[in-house]
């Protein structure tokens, strides 16, 4: 009976985590879409042009804002869609791949902003925070699943 309750509680936690991860993926899509808007902005001041150190326009118009012919923000949107889909289907182990890749790429882009451009993008930093939280939560779920499995005799 006790094992059944524990299994039921674990299923509820995984179900809740599914929705938390999907909501974070939707937030990532929104933030990446805002960055993509800055990428294509040709007129007016950027709403996130705060000062000399924080300017999304500078970052999103730099050569580092492209992966070949594709804007980095588009890659972010597609990545968050993939992550949201995997989370919704509760494919947490598979979700580790895009979350780790996204975190690694976001950290690389943060390095470019800090050490090469000398300017930060608010949207990029928010996206880095989102992908970091998604990765940590997903890693926690996968580790909990691994530790919860009964030892085979």
pLDDT by 10s per residue, the chain, length 153: 455 566 676 678 888 999 999 999 999 999 999 999 998 887 766 777 888 899 888 899 899 999 999 999 999 999 999 999 999 999 999 999 999 999 999 999 999 999 999 999 999 999 999 999 999 999 999 999 888 876 555
* Structural element, H or E, at residue 80: helix 72-88
For residue 67, what are its two tokens?
A: 């992966």
Residue 135 near residue 103, CB atoms below 8 Å = yes
Q: Residue 42 contacts by C-beta under 8 Å, 6 or more apart in sequence? A: none
Kindly state the DSSP code that residue 65 receives in the 8-state scheme: G
CATH numeric code, 2-148: 1.20.1440.130
């Amino acid at each position: 009976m006790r094992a059944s309750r524990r299994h039921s509680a674990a299923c509820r936690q995984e179900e809740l985590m599914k929705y938390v991860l999907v909501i974070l993926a939707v937030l990532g899509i929104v933030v990446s879409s805002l960055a993509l808007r800055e990428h294509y902005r040709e007129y007016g001041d950027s709403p996130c042009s705060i000062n000399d150190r924080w300017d999304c326009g500078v970052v999103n118009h730099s050569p580092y804002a492209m992966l070949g012919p594709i804007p980095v923000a588009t890659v972010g949107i597609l990545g968050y869609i993939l992550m949201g889909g995997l989370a919704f289907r509760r494919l947490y182990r598979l979700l580790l791949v895009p979350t780790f890749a996204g975190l690694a790429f976001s950290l690389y882009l943060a390095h470019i902003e800090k050490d090469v451009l000398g300017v930060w993008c608010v949207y990029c930093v928010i996206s880095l925070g989102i992908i970091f939280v998604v990765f940590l939560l997903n890693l926690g779920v996968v580790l909990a699943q691994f530790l919860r499995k009964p030892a085979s005799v």
